[in-house]
Structure 1
Amino acid sequence: MTTATSAGAARRTALPRPYLPRPYLLWPYLLWLAGAQAGLLGDAALSFALGWAASGYGGGAAGLVLTAVTVPRTVLVLLGGAVADRFGARRVMLAGDAVMLVVTAGLALAVAGDRAAPLWLLVGAAGVTGAVDAFYLPASGSMPRRLVPADRLPRALALRQAGGQCAVLLGAPLGGLLVAGGGLAGAAAADAVSFAVVLLVLLRVRPDRDGPGPAPAAAPVGLLREAGAGVRLALGDPLLRAALLLTGAAAGALLPVVSLLGPLLARAHGWAAGTAGLVTAGQAAGVLVVAASVAWRGGLPRPGVGAAAGLCTASAGTLLLALSGGPAAAVTGSTVLGLGSGLFACHLGPLVLGGAPASHLSRVQALLTLVQSLALVLSTGLLGTAADATGAVPPALCCALATGAAGLAALAAPALRRA
């Protein structure tokens, strides 16, 4: 009896630990993701409301409000990544959500009772939002790596991509409803509620791999030096360097196609605004399909090849959109473009986040945000000027060519091809 008992115990000890079900492993991430998507939806609604309120002062005022968001976010984002890596991503996010809760609640009170918001208040709220984003985005971008095992990272990021796309799609209509029902105050109050939800979620979720970096052996290094160290690390790593270059190319050549060139193409063909909206919806639908598929079944075994294939697919969609003669072809082209964009984002994201050292997660995410922002700002201005001079078709064809060239270059890059 003793021998049998001992043998049974030995067998039980030798057996591997039972495989934990996916919900158990991922529930902290799913809880955080649900809160983050609620925050994104509230932000999208308030962004629409701010733009609508600013448009009442004219196009220049609306552009000023948008600039007030973009400039501090671009200038401070590398510093924000260094702060999140030094003090912990969760702490930075808690501080950012608390600040935005106060700002949005104060904005709602300031414009309550159908009072018109003065322009200085709109610009101030936009500036604070951009400054908080500079610290919040790198911290938030690093959270999947802190909450999810490495083998689940592609699915987790795909799920986040799908949720973010849904928030973007629903944010503007929700903002319109809130403005119609309660004005800017209603949208600001709804965003304040969303920040309160995110705060409660963050108080519940505690990443195991979050926290300040190791204490320096010598004198502490300044935050600006730490930000520079993140840039040097990313540029010195072959995989991260190639991924950042590819991200910049995709942001500059893909993002303006639907947002800028799509409406211009629709106007050139004499299509109604509803048709232009369908073109945008086709792109969003393509991204959602790919993101949902990767979240459910996982990504390709070689994510670098998947990202390159995504760019080549998006190039074909852009070409079809540029040469379309009717709404059906345009929507088909934008959908193919969305499929390629989703394939690219869902495979390159895990490469960047998984390839960054644990001590530099937020700084690499900050650099990724900076590369995307700068490429988008430069390309949008150039493409808009070119469209004024030649029409929307030649710039769209250039975008198709640039995207295809980037995809072929990614296939030729050993660091990406073998990743």
Structure 2
Amino acid sequence: MSATAVRPGSLTEGPAHRDPNVLRWLGGYTSSAIGDNVYYIALSWAAVQAGTPAQAGLVTAVSAVPRALLMLGGGVVADRYGPRRVVLGSSTVRCLLVVTAAAMVLATSPGLWALGAVAVLFGVVDAVFLPATGALPARITGRDQLARVQGMRALATRLANVLGGPLGGLGVALGGTGGAFGLAALLIGVSLPVLWTVRVGQLPPDEGKERGGAVLADIRDGLRHIGRDRVLCPLVLAIALADLGFVGPMNLGLTLLAQERGWGSSGMGWVLAGFGTGAGAASLLLTLRGWVPRAGLVMAVAEIGGCLAIAGLAHVPTVVGATCVALAVGLLAGLGGALSGALVQAQAGPAYVGRVTAVSSLVGFGVAPLTFPLVGAATDRWGTGPVFAACAALCALGGVLALCSRSLRRAELPR
């Protein structure tokens, strides 16, 4: 690490979107994110071939369990050993796991248990990888560039979502499931030499002490750090509520809505494209602007507006109308999400970024995916309208909490 560590003040060479160091990180992050999407396409395809659609859904969702159980510990690992080192190590393991899956598919016809084991192990590694990759931006750029970097990260995520599906399908078409797994491993592997060249800033001397002792003690220390901060505490709660209400309707819920309305897969594709376009526009705005005044207030208002649009989505009868509403959802939720991420990184103490990132990401990556069966059962009983409204109300509660917190409402990003 000493060969790539630099002083924080020397990291930024102008705006982040023109900084070669940040662009190297962005390239590695994008390649890895596309690989993740291809991996999940390959895993779901292999699971469908080995069992029923319900069993395939269980295999693809099971990786959320270890993320939910272990992510707080993953934040401790990121803070103890540095996010760059942890990202490189965990990415290497993720690449080897996908290579193993490709070898299994090529050598034999793996059953659901074997595929489930791969998914669980991938989730275990993700519990370490996700907090580290979330904490890394704060160590590669100046504090005044955090909003811009979050916008760039969101743009990369949207690009990965757009390209991952077609590339995964192409991999299956040309090389079968093994070929798709191989493509995912290649994309994750390509990110390693790129991320190796990324320089990271050094912690201040009093923050950079080697940590030891029990992991649970460090977790409690991180939770106390969040609880004592007048901005972080309501911000993390607001993010958790927003994720808990947002993930269900905008993932499984959209599929069920398309079936209920008779839009078919093409109609659902248009709605998803509208959402992706709106989220991409919000990310591009932050990337180019780099700073938003009264970030806490803008975040809260944008989140509430996005939740109202989610509730309305279930009552739009046409594909065109739903696409326009989804565009608004993406624009508002994308802006609120990127600002909340930037505020987390700006407010967290330098030695706590990994743990704070883990806590703020826990619901979105670990808990919310486990609610999909509940969303499906509720939709089957009451229909999409009430379920979307209930989820939107839960999501909007996070924005209301942010508005009620004077410190968070007045929070500003560094300039």
TM-score (norm 1): 0.89
The answer for the alignment partner of 2:24 in structure 1 is 31
The answer for the alignment partner of 2:117 in structure 1 is 124
Query: Structure 1 stretch 97-106 or stretch 331-340: which is displaced more?
Result: 97-106
Per-residue displacement from partner, 1:68-117 (whole Å, max 9, x unpaired)?
3111121111111111111121221221122223222233233227x433
The 5 A counterparts of 1:142-153 are: 142-153=135-146
For residue 90 of structure 2, the aligned residue among 92, 96, 99 is: 96
Deviation of 1:23 after TM superposition, in Å, equals 6.5
The 5 A counterparts of 1:319-330 are: 319-330=311-322
For residue 232 of structure 2, the aligned residue among 240, 249, 265 is: 240
Deviation of 1:132 after TM superposition, in Å, equals 0.8
Is 1:77 equivalent to 2:65 in the alignment?
no
Is 1:274 equivalent to 2:273 in the alignment?
no
* Amino acid of the structure 1 residue aligned with 2:380: D
Q: Distance in 2 between the 1:24 and 1:306 partners?
A: 23
The answer for the alignment partner of 2:402 in structure 1 is 410
Per-residue displacement from partner, 1:335-358 (whole Å, max 9, x unpaired)?
111111111112111111111101
Q: Distance in 2 between the 1:116 and 1:87 partners?
A: 39
The 5 A counterparts of 1:195-234 are: 195-209=188-202, 213-215=208-210, 220-234=212-226
Q: Is the 8 A contact 2:16 2:148 kept in 1?
A: no
Q: Distance in 2 between the 1:326 and 1:74 partners?
A: 37
Q: Distance in 1 between the 2:101 and 2:218 partners?
A: 35
- Secondary structure, in 3 states, of the residue corresponding to 1:76? helix
* Amino acid of the structure 1 residue aligned with 2:330: G
Unmatched 5+ stretches in structure 2: 1-9
Q: Distance in 1 between the 2:407 and 2:390 partners?
A: 27
Q: Distance in 1 between the 2:16 and 2:297 partners?
A: 30
* Amino acid of the structure 2 residue aligned with 1:40: A
Is 1:164 equivalent to 2:157 in the alignment?
yes
- Secondary structure, in 3 states, of the residue corresponding to 1:110? helix
The answer for the alignment partner of 1:181 in structure 2 is 174
CA RMSD of aligned residues (A): 2.3
The answer for the alignment partner of 1:354 in structure 2 is 346
Deviation of 1:152 after TM superposition, in Å, equals 0.7
Q: Distance in 1 between the 2:222 and 2:275 partners?
A: 33
Per-residue displacement from partner, 1:270-301 (whole Å, max 9, x unpaired)?
22221111112111111001100110112421
Q: Distance in 1 between the 2:163 and 2:203 partners?
A: 31
Q: Distance in 1 between the 2:354 and 2:160 partners?
A: 23
Residue 413 and residue 379 in structure 1: after superposition, are their counterparts in 2 closer, same or farther (change >3 A)? farther
The answer for the alignment partner of 1:5 in structure 2 is none
Deviation of 1:377 after TM superposition, in Å, equals 4.0
The answer for the alignment partner of 1:344 in structure 2 is 336
Between structure 1 and structure 2, the one with the greater Rg is: 1
Q: Is the 8 A contact 1:73 1:130 kept in 2?
A: yes
Is 1:368 equivalent to 2:360 in the alignment?
yes
Per-residue displacement from partner, 1:252-280 (whole Å, max 9, x unpaired)?
22222221222222222222221111112
* Amino acid of the structure 1 residue aligned with 2:361: T
Q: Is the 8 A contact 2:80 2:210 kept in 1?
A: no
For residue 385 of structure 1, the aligned residue among 377, 380, 395 is: 377
For residue 258 of structure 1, the aligned residue among 250, 256, 267 is: 250
Q: Identity over the aligned pairs, expressed in percent?
A: 33
For residue 107 of structure 1, the aligned residue among 101, 104, 110 is: 101
* Amino acid of the structure 1 residue aligned with 2:56: A
Q: Distance in 1 between the 2:370 and 2:173 partners?
A: 35
Q: Distance in 2 between the 1:99 and 1:404 partners?
A: 38
TM-score (norm 2): 0.90
- Secondary structure, in 3 states, of the residue corresponding to 1:161? helix
Is 1:139 equivalent to 2:129 in the alignment?
no
The answer for the alignment partner of 1:8 in structure 2 is none
* Amino acid of the structure 2 residue aligned with 1:306: V
Residue 127 and residue 401 in structure 1: after superposition, are their counterparts in 2 closer, same or farther (change >3 A)? closer
For residue 334 of structure 1, the aligned residue among 301, 321, 326 is: 326
Q: Is the 8 A contact 1:311 1:344 kept in 2?
A: yes
